[in-house]
């Protein structure tokens, strides 16, 4: 067999044979040449760790086939977070996906006005009670111009009269706050605090109206899809994505539960935590596929279909934590042990003292 130039160089550089010892390398090879030393233990460890690395490559290849198989047998609904009130996609075996209509734009208008008030806090927050720093003025003046334009065009927006009046008040209060700060040349905490308390009841109304708009829309969409799927609804999977701050009372997931029922929670209906507000349908399908595929692995090896939904070492780690805290004279603090396949909500469920809604804050 003929050896190419690259293999020949490699043989000279790294082999321990007579060719390497008999030949002197040129000076330009000095920076990279040298004998690579490795102990038998290091080699064995590397070879064993490579099994785990290779597993992920095999997982990826198999997942493509698994996903194709799942979508060929089961309808799938994805509920994706978006700034427009969410996105829902229905996948049906052998048919093109259906992208649901968007939430009415008034949802975004209510959200935009409310966010404009919160944005002011971000503008002024770093400069509260700092008379010597005026670097906030440029950003505030620019944002004031946008705020005025929004107020000027408010009457032309598709919004109910009562809602429009509430948003007019919010925008006017925003402008008054900015004008006061600009006139004084300083943002005092007392001014900021008074502004927050003044806006709170108006913002609360916007939150309620936005929620009503969003929920009514998605309830209508899901009712139509459930009727359309008929008996296939009982084998439909659904998943919604969330980040930490949106997992409690997650709107899309909570709406989906109303149609799937409590027995589907953590079985055919999943809440998938992500690291950003938005994610792609492809990433969601990949995550859903892996969850379903891993269940078959759990059933194959341990005889339990939902075992792999949980941290596999969690049970043994729980026992280890109890043992280790005992050695240290500590009292272990752990959540209740729940059975594999629990239908509990995948969010906080333990009741306690304190407000749990904006209305409770009153």
84-106 per-position pLDDT tens digit: 999 999 999 999 999 999 999 99
Q: In this structure, is residue 359 part of a structural domain?
A: no
Q: What percent of the chain has pLDDT over 90?
A: 74
pLDDT of residue 6: 46
245 and 344 belong to one structural domain: yes
Q: Do residues 93 and 115 share a domain?
A: no
pLDDT value of residue 17: 44
* Together in a domain, 285 and 248: yes
Is the domain of 281 the same as that of 181?
no
Q: Let me know if residue 284 belongs to a domain.
A: yes
How far is residue 265's CA from residue 343's CA, in Å, rounded to a whole number?
A: 5
pLDDT digits (tens, 9 = 90+) for 17-57: 444 444 788 888 878 887 778 899 999 999 999 988 888 88
Tell me the average pLDDT of the chain.
90
CA 170 to the chain's CA centroid:
30
CA distance 221 to 86: 12
- Give domain status of residue 50, yes or no: no
- Report the distance separating Cα 251 and Cα 233, nearest Å: 21
Residue 343 makes CB contacts below 8 A (sequence gap 6+) with 262, 263, 265, 266, 267
Q: Are residues 73 and 164 in the same domain?
A: no
Beta strands in the chain (DSSP E): 76-80, 87-91, 98-99, 237-242, 269-273
Position 242 in a domain: yes
State both tokens at 94.
């052998």
Q: What's residue 30's pLDDT? A: 79
Tokens of 132: 């010597």
Question: What burial class does residue 325 get, using C-beta atoms within 10 Å of its C-beta: 0-12 exposed, 13-18 middle, 19+ buried?
Answer: middle
Residue with structure tokens 């010892």?
21
pTM: 0.85
* Residue 312: pLDDT over 90: no
Say what the pLDDT of residue 169 is.
Answer: 98
Tell whether 174 and 78 lie within a shared domain: no
The answer on 347 and 297 residing in a single domain is yes
Q: Considering its fold, how many domains does the chain have in total?
A: 2
Question: Considering the domain boundaries, does residue 277 fall inside one?
Answer: yes
Residue 218 lies in a domain: no
Contact yes or no for 220/85 (Cβ under 8 A): no
**Averaged over 153-159, what is the pLDDT?**
97
Q: Reply yes or no on whether the pLDDT at 351 is more than 90.
A: no
Q: What is the DSSP letter of 265?
A: B
Q: Say whether both 298 and 319 belong to one domain.
A: yes
Four-CA torsion 258, 77, 237, 56, nearest 10 degrees? -140
Percent of the residues in the chain that have a pLDDT greater than 70, as a whole number: 94
Q: Any idea what the Cα angle at residue 57 is, between residues 55 and 58, rounded to 5°?
A: 65
- What whole-number distance in Å separates Cα of residue 241 and Cα of residue 246? 9
Q: Which of 210, 227, 259 is the last residue of a domain?
A: 210
Q: Is residue 23 part of a domain?
A: no
Shared domain check, 114 and 98:
no
Helix (H, G, I), strand (E, B) or coil at 24: coil
| 170 lies in the same domain as 122 | yes
pLDDT of residue 176 exceeding 70, the answer is: yes
Does one domain contain both 113 and 189? yes
State whether the Cα torsion 165-171-172-173 is positive or negative.
Answer: positive
148 and 95, same domain (yes or no): no
The answer to whether position 307 is within a domain reads yes
* Domain region containing 158: 106-210
């Amino acid at each position: 067999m003929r050896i190419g130039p690259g293999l020949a160089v490699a043989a000279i550089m790294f082999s321990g044979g007579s060719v390497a010892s008999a030949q002197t390398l040129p000076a330009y090879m000095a920076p990279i040449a040298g004998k690579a030393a490795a102990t038998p233990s290091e080699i064995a460890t590397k070879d064993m760790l490579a099994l785990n690395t290779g597993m992920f490559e095999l997982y990826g290849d198999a997942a493509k086939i698994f996903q194709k198989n799942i979508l060929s047998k089961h309808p799938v609904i994805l509920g994706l977070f978006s700034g427009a009130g969410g996105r829902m996609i229905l996948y049906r075996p052998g048919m093109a996906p259906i992208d649901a209509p968007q939430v009415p734009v008034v949802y975004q208008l209510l959200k935009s006005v409310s966010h404009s008030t919160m944005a002011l806090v971000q503008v002024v927050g770093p400069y509260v009670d700092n008379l010597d720093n005026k670097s906030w003025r440029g950003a505030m003046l620019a944002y004031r111009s946008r705020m005025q334009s929004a107020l000027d065009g408010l009457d032309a927006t598709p919004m109910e009269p009562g809602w429009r009046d509430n948003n007019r008040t919010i925008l006017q209060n925003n402008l008054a706050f900015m004008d006061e700060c600009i006139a004084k040349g300083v943002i005092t905490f007392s001014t900021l605090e008074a502004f927050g308390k003044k806006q709170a009841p108006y913002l609360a109304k916007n939150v309620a109206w936005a929620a009503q708009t969003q929920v009514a829309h998605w309830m209508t969409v899901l009712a139509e899809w459930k009727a359309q799927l008929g008996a296939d609804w009982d084998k439909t999977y659904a998943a919604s994505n969330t980040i930490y701050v949106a997992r409690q009372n997650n709107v899309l997931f909570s709406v989906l539960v109303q149609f799937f029922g409590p027995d589907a929670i953590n079985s055919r209906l999943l809440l998938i935590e992500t690291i950003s507000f938005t994610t792609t349908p492809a990433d969601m399908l990949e995550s859903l596929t892996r969850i379903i595929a891993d269940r078959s692995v759990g059933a194959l090896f341990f005889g339990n279909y939902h075992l792999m939904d949980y941290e596999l070492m969690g049970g043994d780690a729980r026992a280890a934590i109890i043992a280790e805290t005992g050695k240290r004279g500590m009292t272990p603090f752990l959540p209740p042990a729940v059975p594999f396949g629990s239908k509990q909500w995948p969010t906080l469920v333990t009741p306690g003292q304190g407000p749990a809604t904006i209305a409770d804050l009153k």
